[in-house]
Structure 1
């Protein structure tokens, strides 16, 4: 019983003193792992993947010749760029939303990217 109380106090102290971004990243990584998704940090170019994470940023390019929506998905381990080509806007794709995505990992400007991923909006875990 005493060790359980000590463990509780240790976890509580850690939550009160640790950086909020680190705690958020840990929680997101745990949620991603619980869904069975592959961590972004582990994926490689050419690999077919399923990932789970939260959108950190969303930008759209409205140029008629190259309309696209770009979003940064963070899963607690790393981030990956999601690019939807030929779209100016996608309902529900906005910063803070939680998604599960599937697609093949590619590269854009030296960063991991998935082009035109299949996605599902999910409730935060």
Structure 2
């Protein structure tokens, strides 16, 4: 068997047997890196960042009278919480959507967070 053919079968077998969530994370990380965006795992508090990733969950949080929307953003390397303060709904912000986000990384409860990020919906969602 030729080396190229063996490599193809090895990749095919890996795709068929590996965890789908892991494959999705690897693909998202590769897409993000190819776009020139920063990786979430490399970002630290206080940095101004631009990242490409997918929303895993979105929920409205009416805490103590202040409306906000919180979304779990994942770029294939690490999760970051996105919080839009003073919003009850944002058209297009829903689970499964791919976004390019820009903002300053902060920290809340030991987790990375970006408050009121600038975002662009990507058509490949």
SS in 1 for 2:5: helix
Structure-2 separation of matches of 1:34 and 1:58: 26
Structure-2 separation of matches of 1:64 and 1:87: 14
SS in 2 for 1:66: coil
TM-score (norm 1): 0.95
Deviation at 1:62, TM superposition (A): 3.5
Residue ranges of structure 2 left out of the alignment (5+ in a row)? none
Structure-2 separation of matches of 1:9 and 1:43: 36
Residue ranges of structure 1 left out of the alignment (5+ in a row)? none
Root mean square deviation of aligned Cα:
1.5
Q: Which residue of 2 aligns with 1:16?
A: 16
Q: Which residue of 2 aligns with 1:45?
A: 45
Moved over 6 A (4+): none
SS in 2 for 1:87: coil
Residues 1:32 and 1:116: Cα distance change in structure 2 (over 3 Å): same
Structure-1 separation of matches of 2:21 and 2:76: 10
Deviation at 1:108, TM superposition (A): 1.1
SS in 2 for 1:101: strand
SS in 2 for 1:53: strand
Provide Cα deviations, 1:47-67, integer angstroms capped at 9, x if missing partner: 000000000000112357311
Q: How many residue pairs are counted as aligned between the two chains? A: 125
Worse overlay, 58-67 or 107-116: 58-67
Structure-2 separation of matches of 1:114 and 1:11: 36
